[in-house]
């Protein structure tokens, strides 16, 4: 009985420590859930699973794109408060060796990820993203890429809480 009591007490302590730092609170609706959406053609799905880490100082997002008959594309984004720059920053790495570094700014309508670069195989792609909550159980992800000095829609996707 005593080990069970200790386990319950430590679980309560862990949950209490998982409250996010102030700067990450705009992202709190995502934490503890997976969110999944199907691309318009129906040939791929996109899933993001968010978890607080390190006493709420970090929000981890494990991202998986599934395409039937192909290996999964998997990446992880680590969101954290950059105290020197006084803003939320992120680092994204993926299983093909690509990566991004950028920032997140909360807006009146959701979360904005200003223009940054995705780098893979020696090439860089400039992109920007907006996440707009749609009720309590979904958000829209809108991504644009810059091609020849023009912003072009990369994708628009509704992800639903799983």
| Euclidean distance between CA atoms 150 and 118, whole angstroms | 17
Mean pLDDT of the chain: 91
3 state SS for 30-49: HCCCEEEEECCCCCCEEEEE
Q: Is residue 40 very low, low, confident or very high in pLDDT (cuts 50, 70, 90)?
A: confident
Q: What is the pLDDT of residue 11?
A: 44
For residue range 132-152, list pLDDT tens digits in order: 999 999 999 999 999 999 999
Residue with more model confidence, 5 or 18: 18
The pLDDT score that the predictor gives to residue 117 is 98
pLDDT tens per residue, range 117-132: 999 999 999 999 999 9
Could you give the CA distance from residue 83 to residue 80 in angstroms, rounded to a whole number? 9
The alpha carbon dihedral of 95, 154, 63, 73 has a sign of negative
Tokens in use for 18?
């998982």
pLDDT at 18: 66
CA angle 158-107-50, nearest 5°? Answer: 50
The domain spans of the chain are 19-161
CATH of region 19-161, choose from 3.40.250.10, 2.40.128.20, 3.30.390.50, 3.30.360.10: 2.40.128.20
Q: What is the pTM of this model?
A: 0.87
């Amino acid at each position: 009985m005593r080990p069970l009591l200790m386990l319950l007490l430590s679980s309560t302590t862990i949950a209490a420590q998982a409250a996010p730092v102030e700067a990450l609170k705009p992202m709190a609706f995502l934490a503890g859930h997976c969110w999944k959406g199907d691309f318009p053609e129906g040939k791929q799905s996109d899933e993001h699973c968010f978890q607080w880490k390190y006493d709420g100082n970090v929000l981890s997002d494990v991202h998986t794109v599934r395409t039937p008959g192909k290996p999964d594309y998997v990446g992880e984004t680590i969101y954290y408060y950059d105290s020197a720059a006084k803003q939320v920053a992120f680092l994204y790495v993926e299983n093909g060796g690509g990566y991004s570094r950028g920032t997140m700014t909360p807006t009146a309508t959701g979360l904005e990820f200003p223009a940054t670069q995705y780098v893979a195989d020696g090439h860089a792609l400039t992109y920007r993203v907006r996440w707009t909550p749609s009720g309590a159980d979904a958000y829209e992800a809108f991504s644009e890429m810059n091609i020849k000095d023009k912003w072009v829609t990369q994708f628009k996707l509704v992800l639903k809480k799983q």
